[in-house]
């Protein structure tokens, strides 16, 4: 079973992020605001795509999405990340308000190079979690303190989280972000990702429906 990294909820003076840049951004999903947050300790940059006025509002539709270069740029069919991102942007774009956080934590936090090394192990029969462990990593190294800090900077009171990962809900709540409800994140099933999706459902409790259309 994957574990969630827990962090103490920072005070306003101790926020791990600072707003670095902001501009309107016309997109195929409508007019959004692009806000770049920098981690104070490392300088790593993350993006919030914001629709409408979210400050002080409860039940804001929010997707906390981790970078996936292989699917979002190269079109990999091994996972459902690109579908999930597009679904979240479509949903936010057609809502009165919403946020998509794009976090730079490739491969559930192990980085791009190690992710490709894990893919090589998967090609030899390991599942996604077994491959990470063979490389010496935990099942999931993603952090939620940065996402929580970004939402606090945006002034969101509570979120309707676009996810089917119960650990993501737990991770945000542990960082002081109330999750009012869950919104299913929809993705398509294909022959290359069905094993990956089945593993996520069976190993880490993702709320995924198989076969046919699936959520992850």
Tell me which of 43-57, 74-88, 136-150, 162-176 is least confident: 136-150
Output the pTM of the full model: 0.83
Given this model, what pLDDT does residue 205 score? Answer: 62
Given this model, what pLDDT does residue 42 score? Answer: 92
Residues paired with residue 36 on neighbouring β-strands, in sequence order? 21, 47
- 126-137 burial, b for 16+ CB within 10 Å, e for fewer? bbbbbbbeeeeb
Given this model, what pLDDT does residue 193 score? Answer: 67
Average pLDDT, integer, range 148-163: 97
CATH top-level class for 13-105+142-186?
alpha beta
Average pLDDT, integer, range 137-147: 82
Q: How many angstroms separate the CA atoms of 191 and 196, rounded?
A: 10
Q: How many angstroms separate the CA atoms of 215 and 164, rounded?
A: 7
Average pLDDT, the chain: 86
Residue 5 has pLDDT above 60, yes or no: no
Q: Which residues does the annotation mark as catalytic? A: 140, 142
Given this model, what pLDDT does residue 84 score? Answer: 93
């Amino acid at each position: 079973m994957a574990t969630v990294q827990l962090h103490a909820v920072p005070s306003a003076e101790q926020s791990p992020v600072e707003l670095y840049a902001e501009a309107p951004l016309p997109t195929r999903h409508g007019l959004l605001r692009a806000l770049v947050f920098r981690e104070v300790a490392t300088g790593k940059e993350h993006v919030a795509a914001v629709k409408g006025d979210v400050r002080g509002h409860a039940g804001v539709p929010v997707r906390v999405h981790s970078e996936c270069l292989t699917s979002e740029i190269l079109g990999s069919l091994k996972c459902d990340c690109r579908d999930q991102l597009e679904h979240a942007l479509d949903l936010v774009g057609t809502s009165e308000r919403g946020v998509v956080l794009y976090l730079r934590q490739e491969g559930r936090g192990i980085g791009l190079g190690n992710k490709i090394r894990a893919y090589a192990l998967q090609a030899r029969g390991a599942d996604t979690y077994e491959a990470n462990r063979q490389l010496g990593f935990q099942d999931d190294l993603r952090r939620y303190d940065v996402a929580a800090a970004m939402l606090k900077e945006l002034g969101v009171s509570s979120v309707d989280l676009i996810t089917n990962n119960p650990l993501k809900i737990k991770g945000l709540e542990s960082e002081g972000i109330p999750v009012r409800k869950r919104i299913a994140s929809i993705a398509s099933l294909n022959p290359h990702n069905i094993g990956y999706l089945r593993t996520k459902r069976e190993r880490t409790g993702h709320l995924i429906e198989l076969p046919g259309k699936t959520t992850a």
